Structure 1
């Protein structure tokens, strides 16, 4: 009887953790297909929506290391529930948003904080609640749910936005959070291993503020009026991250508890695998932003159609991730990662070549699918390399570093490619204003910027000339954006080939970390 009860409690723990992962992954995908609706409903522009989307991943990236350490101070269960509560409050504010700033606070900030607390705790709870085959099974389930959420997220978001409202998506998330909290008593409590005095507060501030300022500086390049101040947060952010690294090394030499074990970066395989994974997350973050902008802004598709246009990538990621274990037993990780980077690179090159005035969604499918194939190969196998290098007591640090890279890469992808879209619009659309002799250069730039950011022309008299030029320039800018992606993926391909050969494959680590995809 006791064994049956323990089995039931075990299943409930797995369900609770899986629901949280499913919700967080969906949350990262469904908003991208609602860009045009958000611009209209919140009376904002594409630049602000880009900031909102990028800031969600940025918040998680900034706080992921702290979220991992708080488990040792507050406990895994309390950290998880604190994150769920903050996340739930964020969903309420986001659903009721009356302007873009309210959505930024509710979704990007509060939900981002909640996710940063929940995500590290989910893996720790599973690792501590199960062992042996049950642990492998539980991690496999969470991995499948994460991949499945990435597949259905754009469809759910597109359906609700097209036929109802994007606000309902946040309502559904709130229901899931309530279920998680109600059944959270089934989660086991784990012993505390740190005190508040042991927390590396200086390192926490340097890492969080450094990452945040770096990406914010890139986002400031969106608006011509903030170009002059953009370099400052970028430089300050880089300096703070450098200080963070040396601060961690100093603490470890003094036998003090660091925020993260930076000695892991001494291993070339660990460092290069993290870079390869960051590059792939840069790609997916950028692609999930620029393709919806093109599909809605140029092709005029609704959110549901936009979500369906991304399905080839999601399906490919799911299929290739599921086959990860078989590949890992036959091919060295460096070659698997190179194959994945090459597949994604071929998809990016295809997209950069096919974009023209008459490109349709069906024309893009092969390229989007190949991008997904590459991501589905790189995600689990890069994680395999990362965790095979880390010792058992370094696993939490490896997870924190990897999760920070995941969200930083996604945020950078949205920020950088979004900036490329806006800056790219200047080269062609500026011609529209060239015949206006009385207009200053600054006014021309501002006019082009505002014209692009609305995704549409509001003055009917301007449609024939300006709309055609806008469409042509958006096509050219998309080609340039995917040229940038191709260049970054080529770097990822080269980096993969420098990962050291492994003497022994560790297939089980793939299942153990795929839930971070």
Structure 2
């Protein structure tokens, strides 16, 4: 009998770790359906909430490599417990938020920091605690709980937002965080392999600042006044990440401990796997942001009904995430990844022409399901290729890059799709006004277009649906064209994924001594 079966209490560690995976996963999806309610409750704008969502995943992307390395310095248990504590403080602040600033600090920053410490430690704790078939079972449960939480997140958030309050979601997370802290004593601390002097502080700063500037530059596209700063901000971020790369090589050459062993990027399958996982999350985050905004502001659905509409997509992700490896027994994994991007591409193309005042939830389900199938198939296969492309002693680095890529893709995707929608709205509204009111000169339209777009974003559009007027037709056509442009943007993202997936090779393992 294995050591984990000697007592039922031995599985308590798995329960604790699974609970942490649950709150981290559900936190990334349950607030998307509450966007319209958050705008009203916190007296803010959709673009502000969009930024808060982006900063949450950005914080994790910036600190994931640091969180992975911290385990080697203070131990897995301490890293995990510190993360849970910070996460608990953050979710408490988010629960009592009275403005967007409090939600940003509590949810986006503190919860993001806590999650970046917790996430790398979860898999490491499981692999050190369980062995053999028990380890396979434990990892399966851990992954299933995370996938299930992400899948039910929109419905969970929609139910709470509609019938209670979105604050209850964060309140439930507080309770779970307390339970995890109370029972964390059951986790056995791991031996440390590094000292604080081994920590690559400069590398952590370069990576964090580089990622932050790239996402911040993308968010600058949300306002015409900050567009001139976009190129400089994104360019600075790319330069800093290049400096990070050369800094890591320098530390390796001097036999110092790097934050990340960048030599793993010599493996083509690893590198293109990471790029593909970023592209995949770009598309997923974009869809999960834009669909709830449309359903609530245009069709008038409440948060719960919005969650029900999105549910087929998240269920498809869950089902095909579980079956991807079995399907890969019959279809080559690299071919299956290409097929998954093609399915998501078809789904985005289907959705590009269904949006207007007359759109119903049933109209968006076929496209969402196809996107969900594609994401569900590709995600586990890409994750497996990324982690298995390097030797076991470098898998912690590979895992850190994987988690960073996931969160960076989600952060940029949320920001990017909002930008595409905004540009589409400006272009379409300008064209519609010019066609219907030719007496207005181009300069007059140019001078007023920003105010008109802002009014369009803050007006209850459901009141226009039953009207037969020029204004109603202008708004309807503007929405249809803007959403078409947004989903054509998503289609391009998935098409890029198709092309990049062709460069991945199977069973290519890089040996680093």
TM bucket (normalised to shorter chain) is over 0.9
SS in 1 for 2:228: coil
**Residue 222 of structure 2: aligned partner:** 222
**Stretch moving more, 300-309 or 429-438:** 429-438
- The answer (yes or no) to whether the contact 2:285–2:413 under 8 Å persists in 1 is yes
**Residue 485 of structure 2: aligned partner:** 480
Partners of 1:57 and 1:432 in 2: CA distance: 38
Partners of 2:454 and 2:356 in 1: CA distance: 23
SS in 1 for 2:7: helix
Partners of 2:12 and 2:189 in 1: CA distance: 14
**Residue 511 of structure 1: aligned partner:** none
**Residue 380 of structure 1: aligned partner:** 380
Offset of 1:440 from its aligned partner? 5.7
The equivalences for 1:437-452 within 5 A come to 443-452=447-456
Change (3 A) 1:14 1:477: same
**Residue 100 of structure 1: aligned partner:** 100
The equivalences for 1:97-496 within 5 A come to 97-430=97-430, 432=433, 443-454=447-458, 456=460, 465-496=470-501
Structure 1: which 5+ runs fail to align? Answer: 505-517
Change (3 A) 1:356 1:393: same
Partners of 2:461 and 2:312 in 1: CA distance: 31
Structure 2: which 5+ runs fail to align? Answer: none
- The answer (yes or no) to whether the contact 2:162–2:302 under 8 Å persists in 1 is yes
- The answer (yes or no) to whether the contact 1:56–1:107 under 8 Å persists in 2 is yes
Change (3 A) 1:7 1:444: farther
Partners of 2:384 and 2:463 in 1: CA distance: 54
- The answer (yes or no) to whether the contact 1:224–1:445 under 8 Å persists in 2 is no
SS in 1 for 2:278: helix
SS in 2 for 1:144: helix
Q: RMSD of the alignment, in Å?
A: 2.2
- The answer (yes or no) to whether the contact 1:432–1:466 under 8 Å persists in 2 is no
SS in 1 for 2:296: helix
Change (3 A) 1:452 1:50: farther
**Stretch moving more, 238-247 or 446-455:** 446-455
**Residue 36 of structure 2: aligned partner:** 36
Offset of 1:86 from its aligned partner? 0.8
Q: Deviations over 1:253-297 (max 9, x none)?
A: 221111011111101111111111111111111111000111111
Equivalenced residues, count: 502
Partners of 2:28 and 2:61 in 1: CA distance: 13
Q: Deviations over 1:205-226 (max 9, x none)?
A: 0100110111011101111222
Large movers: runs of 4+ above 4 Å: 1-6, 431-443, 457-460, 463-468
Offset of 1:404 from its aligned partner? 0.3
**Stretch moving more, 25-34 or 274-283:** 274-283
Partners of 2:508 and 2:428 in 1: CA distance: 54
Change (3 A) 1:459 1:281: closer
Offset of 1:411 from its aligned partner? 0.6
Partners of 1:52 and 1:267 in 2: CA distance: 35
Q: TM-score, normalised by structure 1?
A: 0.93
Partners of 2:61 and 2:498 in 1: CA distance: 24
SS in 1 for 2:257: coil
**Residue 19 of structure 1: aligned partner:** 19
**Stretch moving more, 200-209 or 442-451:** 442-451
- The answer (yes or no) to whether the contact 1:80–1:122 under 8 Å persists in 2 is yes
**Residue 8 of structure 1: aligned partner:** 8
